[in-house]
Amino acid sequence: MTEGDADGAVVILSDDVVTLRPWSSGDAAFLGRASADPVIRRYNGVLDRRGHPVPPLSTSGAEAVIDELVLSWRAFATTGAPSGVAFAIVDARSGEPVGCCGVDDWSRADVAQLGYWIAAAARGRGYATRAVILLTRWLFDRGAARAFLTIVAGNEASVAVARRAGFVHEGTMRAHGVWQGQRCDVLWFAALPLEWDVHAPEERS
C-alpha cells in the first residue's frame, strides 16, 4: 500500500506488517535511544574522519535531527527528488517505531542510494527486509534506474537483509571506510528495476 505523493510531501508505505512513515516530533525519545546503540553507532552512526562516533543524541538533539528531516520532505515536495528523505519504520499493528530507512542520495542520473537500521529490541523479526523492499519498490516507481546500498564488511546481518531484499553484491571497496582509526572494506550491493522481482517475505510469528 502506498499513500501520498510529492505534492503534499506525505508518503506512507505499508505491507500491513511494516509501515514506513515520515518521522515526527513524538519519535525523538526513540531516536535518541537508538543513537546510543553500539551496533547503530558502528554501522550507521555519524563518524569523524578517523572513524570515531559522535556522542549519542539527547532528546533535544534528536528533535533537531527530526526537524532537518522535515525540511528534506519539504524539499522533496518542491523538487520531486527524494534525496535525504527518511522514513520511520514502525510495526503496522502497534504503531511503535522500530527503525529507520531512507534515501541517502538521488543522483542526476536517477541512481538512488538507500540505508537502514533497526533498533536492538526489534532485530530478527524481518522488519528491515520488509522496509527495504517497500522503499526499493517506491524508488523504482518514482523512476530510479538503479538502487544501491553500502555495507561495512563484517555486518553480516545487514548483508543478509540486502540479499533477501533482492540486492546483488557487485563488489568490495577496499579500505573505503574507517572505524576507530582502522581502515575497513565496504561492500556494494545494487538492484535494477528490470531484474528486481521481490515480494514481501512470509510473515514471522
pLDDT, position 65:
96
pLDDT computed for residue 201 by the predictor: 66
* Residues in contact with 123: Cβ distance below 8 Å, sequence separation at least 6, in sequence order: 157
63 touches 200 (CB < 8 A): no
pLDDT of residue 179: 93
- Kindly report the average pLDDT of the chain as a whole number: 92
pLDDT tens digits for range 90-114: 999 999 999 999 999 999 999 999 9
DSSP letter, residue 44: T
Q: How confident is the model at residue 202 (pLDDT cuts 50, 70, 90)?
A: low
Q: In order of start, what are the domains of the chain with their CATH numbers?
A: 2-145 (3.40.630.30)
Between 119 and 4, the more confident residue is 119
Q: Is 146 helix (H, G, I), strand (E, B) or coil?
A: strand
β-pairing verdict for 18-22 and 86-91: antiparallel
- Burial of residue 47 (number of CB atoms within 10 Å: 0-12, 13-18, 19+): middle
Per-residue pLDDT at 7 exceeds 60? no
pLDDT at 197: 82
CA dist 174 and 154 (Å) reads 13
pLDDT tens, 75-90?
999 998 899 999 999 9
- 106, 107, 54: which is closest to 85 by C-alpha? 106
